[in-house]
Amino acid sequence: MAIAVGVGDNKAVLKAVDGIDFEVVIVKSEDKLVDLLLNGEVDAAVRGSLSASVIMDKLRKTYPELYRVSCIELNGRRFLLGPVGLVEGSNLPDKLRLAWLGSEFLKYHGIKPSLAIITSGRPNDTARNKKINEMIEDGETLTSKINERSIEAKHYYALLDDAILDGANLIIPFDGIFGNMIFRSMVLAAGAKSYGAVTLGMKEIYIDTSRSQNVEGFKRALKFANYLSKIGNQLPF
């Protein structure tokens, strides 16, 4: 079959399709993209530059609990970052579910999970203000609950740089708003490579992308979707 990709205002998607050595179906509506994917008419779908919120709302009618984790390469290090959706990871159960799904994704692909929990400040900053204290307490609780499931996790507080240097392969920010800002800072401002965001919690393969992505970014997402489609479902459902 083929990989479906959405084309909206950013036409860089069309340039990305040029030179791809597998079949790509170009789609111009969110409805069509979701229908092709859920009806099994394509092997995978890539958002491209269509509306993320519209697509996710449609997917959640079939899969209520979905979490996006972006695959990023920075200075030769590859890792997953999530939540990156603005409304995802807003509470502890959601982040715990994301941690489990992300860990299963890594293990399914032969990678031992090493999770980094990112919140705020440093360990001795709990008395600075109420918000910092709440974020740190949330991080401590999340880390403990992940470790209870025999998954390696460490609370790095605000020290994202240390987490990356230590080789963490799944970075979990405080919520999707923080995650989205980290993504945009790394990828769209600083030039880190993005392969798109894997959508966890569904058996089909859907790769989200930033509508602001460039040609090479869209091309990497297409190749990533094709790679995942060739080795089977993301998770052993």
Q: Can you list the domains of the chain with their CATH numbers?
A: 1-66+201-237 (3.40.50.2300), 70-193 (3.40.50.10750)
DSSP code, position 227:
H
Which phi and psi angles does 142 have, rounded to 5°? -60, -45
Q: Which residues pair with 68 in a beta bridge?
A: 199
Give the whole-angstrom CA distance, residue 225 versus residue 207.
7
**Rounded distance, CA 112 to CA 103, Å?**
8
Which pTM was predicted?
0.93
pLDDT in tens, 54-96: 999 999 999 999 999 999 999 999 999 999 999 999 999 999 9
Look at residue 147 and tell me whether its pLDDT is greater than 70: yes
Question: Does residue 97 register a pLDDT over 50?
Answer: yes
Pairing of strands 67-74, 3-6: unpaired
